[in-house]
Structure 1
Amino acid sequence: MSRSTGQIDLAKHEAILDAAIELLVERGVEASLEDIARRAGVAKQTIYNHYGSKNEVVRALAARRAASIAAPLAGLDAAQHPERTLVAYGVALLQALLATRSIGFMRFAIGSAATSPELARAIYHSGIRMSRTSLADFLVVEASAGRLSIPNPSQAAEMYAGMVIGSLQSAFLLNARADISHEEIEATACEAAHRFMRAFAPD
């Protein structure tokens, strides 16, 4: 388990994670902590002290992306405006998943699933699963307040994410698409949020 981020300078923390994702995309599982330290411009011992293993670096990468996706759910008035918040979550989700480095990182995750399943599981549990759990928790709040009627928030969170992502991530992963406009991202999220709100509107 990695130690508190506060134990190293935030800039170093970000530099380590940025270097890690670059090298994992470039070299796959062959990327070492020594390589990451060299690319980040920090001492190798700094990474060992803070993370301890490559698995924990990968876990931190996935958690950072999950946190960026879930950030709109924590807004001051997010709970009072569920449709607007769902749109913001959808936009953040697509921006995170379709970024060039994220596509490379997901290809790395898929490629490592057979040979390094512990790395792939770390990405799933600290990334994909965590962002869905954050959304499910938000939906619990909305249901409790009577703004939505959701008998199974976890299932509903999966449904909403699926509506937003559609086939876009697959298209990017398989090089069927290489770019997307902000307007298309926002329109996709707006449509998904609107349909979701109608589907789970209280009686």
Structure 2
Amino acid sequence: MARLAGQIDLAKSEAILDAAAAVFGERGLAASMEEIARRASVSKQTIYNHYGSKPELIRALVARRVSEITAPLMEPSAAERPEEALTAFGRFMIAAVENPRGLSMLRMAVESAADQPDVARAFFEAGPATSRRRLADFLRMETQAGRLAIDDPELAAEFFASMVIGSRQLGNLLGARRDLSEAQIEAIALEATRRFLRAYAA
């Protein structure tokens, strides 16, 4: 059965993002659009047609990952299950900072900050800034529903993220990586969530 045009565009976009994640992870900002195009089996012009520039490609790549991380907060029933939603979100956050490819992308953004600030800015805005904003929106909604009592959702979102990630992200960036089991990740996310919910109980 033939695919519709929209399906073809989506398939191409996913192929480009998958290829970009792999190539950026291997080569950093030195990665060429030609290599990404080759890996994705598309033309370089197709990449520019979809994304316009390397910073916008990075923005789209990071935005896709953030959508995966924040998905538990976006589900229709999440508001009625804050502990479950926040634990799942925390679990995804930890997995993200433990992921070698994600760390490569973060290193790339840090290294680009001085001489390619547009790339670093795109990474930050699509990544950490967006994930914290979505968490703050969730916490604001929980407060309005009377399930939590939070005066400053943005600050509370930063607190929760810090509780979950702790020093792991920095340690991993510096090469002091310690692999966590799924059970350890779950335990950290759940403990952080329960302490957070007690601190902000209505």
TM-score bracket for the superposition, by shorter chain length: over 0.9
Identity %: 55
Q: Give the conservation status (yes or no) of the 8 Å contact 1:25–1:104.
A: yes
For the residue of structure 2 that corresponds to 1:177, the secondary structure is coil
Determine helix, strand or coil for the equivalent of 2:149: coil
1:73 corresponds in structure 2 to 73
Query: Quick one: distance in 2 between partners of 1:153 and 1:31?
Result: 38
1:139 is matched with which residue?
A: 139
* Contact 2:149/2:201, CA 8 A, preserved across alignment: yes
- Aligned-residue offset at 1:66: 1.0
SS of the equivalent of 1:146 reads coil
Which residue of the partner structure matches residue 3 of structure 1? none
Of 11-20 and 107-116, the range deviating more from structure 2? 11-20
Give the CA deviation at 1:9. Answer: 2.7
Q: Deviations over 1:38-61 (max 9, x none)?
A: 121111121111111111100001
Residues 9 and 178 of structure 1, relative CA distance in 2, 3 Å threshold:
farther
Contact 1:97-1:169 at 8 Å conserved across structures: yes
CA separation in 2, counterparts of 1:23 and 1:113?
Answer: 19
Distance 1:29 1:102 in 2: 14
The corresponding residue for 1:88 is 88
Task: Give the counterpart letter for 2:17 in structure 1.
Answer: L
Q: Are the aligned partners of 1:7 and 1:50 in contact in 2 as well (CA < 8 Å)?
A: no
Task: Identify the range of structure 1 (106-115 vs 170-179) with the bigger mean alpha-carbon deviation.
Answer: 170-179
Residue 185 (structure 1) aligns with: 185
The residue identity in structure 1 corresponding to 2:113 is: A
Q: Residue 8 and residue 119 in structure 1: after superposition, are their counterparts in 2 closer, same or farther (change >3 A)? A: farther
- Name stretches of at least 5 consecutive residues in structure 2 with no aligned partner: 1-5
- Structure 2 Cα separation of the partners of residues 200 and 178 of structure 1: 31
Change (3 A) 1:14 1:181: same
Segments ≥4 residues shifted beyond 6 Å: none
Partner AA of 2:28 in structure 1:
G
Q: How many residues of Structure 1 are paired with residues of Structure 2 in the alignment?
A: 197
Offset at 1:8?
5.0
Contact 1:8 1:50 in 2 (8 A): no
Residue 172 of structure 2 corresponds to 172
Aligned to 2:3: none
- For structure 1, the residue ranges without an aligned partner over 5 or more in a row are 1-5
| TM-score, structure 2 normalization | 0.93
Shift of 1:196: 0.3
Q: 1:27 Cα shift?
A: 2.0
| Deviating more after overlay: 7-16 vs 93-102 | 7-16
Q: Which moved more, 1:8-17 or 1:111-120?
A: 8-17
Name the CA distance, whole Å, in 2 between partners of 1:63 and 1:117. 18
Shift of 1:32: 2.1
